[in-house]
Chain A
């Protein structure tokens, strides 16, 4: 298997992890060629997750914005409330197949942590989730949910106490317990084979979308928009459309308090000045200072608060197949409110970034054109913090 996307990706990890990574790669390659494995994966996606998720024509939002037709890919309707579960089901089945009894995971917003805790409960595996202390404060409800599902939540106190450090700590734990533990990475980040594997367990989003949009409109969408932290929902949505050159792919990063403020989580967007480096075992675009230290990322949305991007996105950016832009906290909050009021759908703050970009572009497009937004998660987890922000 190719370990890189162009020059991005690879396996920049301590030697101790090379053997388990090779073992994982071999197990993954064998599994995806095994009809039984694919059948199980599909079974849980339909019977447990509730797939396919609808592609909903947002008629009132379309009318409100007065331009292109807007469709929402409703990943928010999945069991556990976000796209994260698709990947977890795949990795849990793989962990079981490899005979591992313990799983560990990192989480930012808590969605991947909840999904992993759910999968661990479903498959009877013991589960520890690493979460930054700051994120634990921001996402208390998800912390409670993980505990309810039987997982241990390990508070990460090092560094910025967010997703970046939770990932470091999960990798360190994996190095320690490598012989009996499976590391369930939640995004298209980390060393090979994770970026490829996670995307392949998420590409069901794009595959369904393609079928659904053709059925509804008879043609491919003009634009697809998805939010990007590590980039798993975007990767899963974009992948089946990569060769449909007429479809414009747009990844929306978090501009936080504005890119010029320096307090943001954008690496590919104009002005973000991402530099090519290595973090969490992969070569990609990152936020670094001139001495090579990783700069803390900032976003109102914990799930986008990551100072890097998946290596495949770095590649799609360099080859110009996808475009990357950013929206601020306040634009995302406006979108959060608007979608709630106009469609009765409360989006996750992460997904609100994608909606915010569509608010900008839809009015400039023709009415016979169409946009698909990947509505990656629901906003229940964010309601409390938005309430505080709006007081």
Chain B
């Protein structure tokens, strides 16, 4: 069983919600990223999403754009990030997901990328610019593996949701609003009915991301879903004062 499925199964058993933390790999450097992964796990994070920095991150707001720029300036590359995963895998079995733009994969080579992910111990991929209509791009290479392509749905997806979720793996990433990452914590006006509808379309766990900043957001979204994904708020905390990262995450998770 894939580590993502195992984690959600355990959480369900104990009646808990998932906390998914995003960090940009290589911001400010690879050693620090490794350290943050352990800190996040220790603070109670269930799944870690590692962003592979890209020069033109279309789905990201200023916080994650700047993080990617910092990482790229420090020389972050796909190879170095895969090496990091290999290293981390020796010490932890926490599910690791790559947030990666499709151009990075196409340039690196689809097969080589997927093979390296599997071999290093990556459990899933989130590709923000690979919608359902283009997912055949990776179908052949992904079908042979247990690597989950995490589907994204948005409040504008409407009748597309059923199609998108048919045969999906891992969990469903529900985008909380129209907009880019880290926008604000004002969620879509019909967030409740939207999340209910997503839930009714799938047996997979659903997690909500984009703009989740404060404890009250976590509480609200946990009540409507199986967990939350927090990115920009964590990246901002790291940039501001990384020594308080564990404390920051603990207070977000605390019941």
- A residues in contact (CB < 8 Å) with B: 3, 10-20, 158-159, 164-165, 168, 171-172, 175-179, 275-281, 286, 288, 290-294
Q: Report the Cα distance A292→B77, complex, angstroms.
A: 9
Q: Please name 7 pairs of A and B residues whose Cβ atoms are closer than 8 Å in the assembled complex, sorted by A.
A: A12-B134, A16-B154, A18-B157, A19-B157, A165-B56, A176-B180, A277-B103
Interface-located stretch among B1-9, B11-19, B105-113, B228-236: B105-113
How close is B161's CB to chain A, nearest CB, in angstroms?
10
B152 close to A294 (CB less than 8 A): no
A294 close to B55 (CB less than 8 A): yes
B54 close to A168 (CB less than 8 A): no
**Chain A hits for B105, CB < 8 A:** 292
**Chain A hits for B69, CB < 8 A:** 159
With A176-B179, A293-B72 known as contacts, the answer to whether A18 contacts B56 (CB < 8 A) is no
Whether a CB of chain A sits under 8 angstroms from the CB of B59 is yes
Q: Report the Cα distance A148→B236, complex, angstroms.
A: 39
Top 10 A-B pairs, shortest CB-CB distance: A292-B107, A292-B104, A293-B55, A16-B154, A19-B156, A277-B103, A176-B179, A14-B59, A278-B103, A15-B154
Q: Report the Cα distance A175→B210, complex, angstroms.
A: 13
Point out which of A14, A165, A281 has the most chain B C-beta atoms below 10 A from its C-beta.
Answer: A14
Q: Report the Cα distance A177→B178, complex, angstroms.
A: 7
B133 close to A3 (CB less than 8 A): yes
Whether a CB of chain A sits under 8 angstroms from the CB of B130 is yes
How close is B155's CB to chain A, nearest CB, in angstroms?
8
Whether a CB of chain A sits under 8 angstroms from the CB of B175 is yes
A18 close to B131 (CB less than 8 A): yes
With A15-B154, A18-B160, A171-B58 known as contacts, the answer to whether A179 contacts B178 (CB < 8 A) is yes
- B residues in contact (CB < 8 Å) with A: 54-56, 58-59, 61-62, 65, 69, 72, 77-78, 101-108, 128-134, 152-158, 160, 164, 175, 178-180, 183
- Other CB < 8 Å A-B pairs besides A16-B156, A275-B107, A292-B101, 20 of them? A12-B130, A13-B129, A16-B178, A18-B157, A19-B154, A159-B69, A165-B56, A175-B59, A175-B178, A175-B180, A176-B178, A176-B183, A278-B103, A281-B129, A290-B107, A291-B78, A291-B107, A292-B105, A293-B55, A293-B104
Q: Smallest CB-CB separation from A293: which chain B residue?
A: B55
Residue among A13, A168, A176 making CB contact with B131, cutoff 8 Å: A13
**Chain A hits for B104, CB < 8 A:** 291-293
B58 close to A172 (CB less than 8 A): yes
Q: Report the Cα distance A294→B178, complex, angstroms.
A: 26
A14 close to B106 (CB less than 8 A): no
Q: Report the Cα distance A179→B132, complex, angstroms.
A: 21
With A178-B178, A277-B103 known as contacts, the answer to whether A292 contacts B78 (CB < 8 A) is yes
**Chain B hits for A276, CB < 8 A:** 106
Q: Smallest CB-CB separation from A171: which chain B residue?
A: B58
Point out which of B58, B78, B104 has the most chain A C-beta atoms below 10 A from its C-beta.
Answer: B58
A14 close to B128 (CB less than 8 A): yes
Q: Report the Cα distance A12→B164, complex, angstroms.
A: 15
Q: Report the Cα distance A205→B128, complex, angstroms.
A: 37
How close is A273's CB to chain B, nearest CB, in angstroms?
12
With A276-B106, A279-B56 known as contacts, the answer to whether A12 contacts B180 (CB < 8 A) is no
**Chain A hits for B155, CB < 8 A:** 16
How close is A370's CB to chain B, nearest CB, in angstroms?
41
**Chain B hits for A177, CB < 8 A:** 178
Q: Report the Cα distance A172→B158, complex, angstroms.
A: 20
A292 close to B54 (CB less than 8 A): yes
How close is B15's CB to chain A, nearest CB, in angstroms?
30
Q: Smallest CB-CB separation from B53: which chain A residue?
A: A293
Q: Report the Cα distance A276→B130, complex, angstroms.
A: 16
**Chain A hits for B133, CB < 8 A:** 3, 10-11, 18
Q: Report the Cα distance A158→B58, complex, angstroms.
A: 12
**Chain B hits for A15, CB < 8 A:** 131-132, 152-154, 156-157, 164, 175
How close is A318's CB to chain B, nearest CB, in angstroms?
16
